[in-house]
Amino acid sequence: ELAGLMVPAETKILVAELEGVGPEFPLSREKLSPILACYIVSDYQEGIKSCEEMTEFGGLGHSAVIHSNNREVINDFAQRVRAGRLLVNSPSTHGAIGDLYNTNTPSLTLGCGSMGKNSTTDNVSIGNLINIKRVALRKERMKWFKVPPKVYFEYGSLQYLAKLKGKNAVIVTDPLMVKLDYVDKVLYHLKKTGMDYQIFSEVEPDPSVETVEKGCRLMQDFEPDVIIALGGGSAIDAAKGMWLFYECPETDFGHLRLK
């Protein structure tokens, strides 16, 4: 009556069919009244799009509900709609406040997170009102490193190379290893596999970025599936860099250097 509408006395709710979302459609925003907006759509994709638009217009971070038994549709809805509570097959009002239709924390204060300029998307309860002090003692964070499942050592271990599986191999080493015939010892066993091979022997004592890039270009042309680093730390480090940029060409060296 206050709105100038005459409806039967037994009416429980009013439903208004709308054709859009925004200021020109006032009933498309949040309404604290017994009035629902109704949208008729052709498929679920259009329905989710309407939900997105309404949420962006006047309900970011609050709550959204979907009634469906299609897991793909539910997941799509959950991914796209920016709400803190996404309810499935349950009443929206009583489902959002928790406990009645789900295991959410029961609360009448519903956080909307940073989307709705709140600090949390929780159903706010005593857990959000407790100040927790954290006493941090000085200690080092644990670190770990991964090693191959098998490490061959001692004299004669080089013969394992004859058991390698692959099509192309690249040997990354330095001029001294070539001069001392260590490369020939590797090739003696490697040739037994039938693999084609290339030798990159230009690694300096302090490998430069240019050297790594040059070795990487060789790998990109030759396409090895086996990389052998022969020598000390310089050859090993250079080979690891070439391997990284060969398998992950999108990697930016400048970004790694900042790390």
Residue 172, phi then psi, degrees to nearest 5: -105, 120
- Domain encompassing residue 28: 14-124
In this structure, the answer to whether residues 109 and 210 fall within a common structural domain is no
In this structure, the answer to whether residues 68 and 115 fall within a common structural domain is yes
Name every residue whose Cβ is closer than 8 Å to that of residue 229 and which is 6 or more positions away in sequence: 172, 173, 235, 236, 238, 239, 240
In this structure, the answer to whether residues 55 and 100 fall within a common structural domain is yes
In this structure, the answer to whether residues 120 and 21 fall within a common structural domain is yes
Instruction: Give the C-alpha distances (Å, rounded to integers) separating 206 from 85, 250, 253.
Output: 56, 24, 17
Strand partners, 228: 171
What pLDDT, in 10s, does the model give residues 89-132?
Answer: 999 889 999 999 999 999 999 999 999 999 999 999 999 999 99
Domain of 175, CATH number, reads 3.40.50.1970
- When pLDDT is cut at 50, 70 and 90, the band that residue 259 belongs to is very low
d(Cα 36, Cα 152) in Å, to the nearest integer?
A: 73
Instruction: Give the C-alpha distances (Å, rounded to integers) separating 140 from 133, 136, 137, 146.
Output: 21, 11, 10, 19
The whole model's pTM is what? 0.55
Tally of structural domains, the chain: 2
d(Cα 68, Cα 89) in Å, to the nearest integer?
A: 7
216 within some domain:
yes
Min mean pLDDT across 79-88, 144-153, 222-231, 249-258 is at: 249-258
5 within some domain:
no
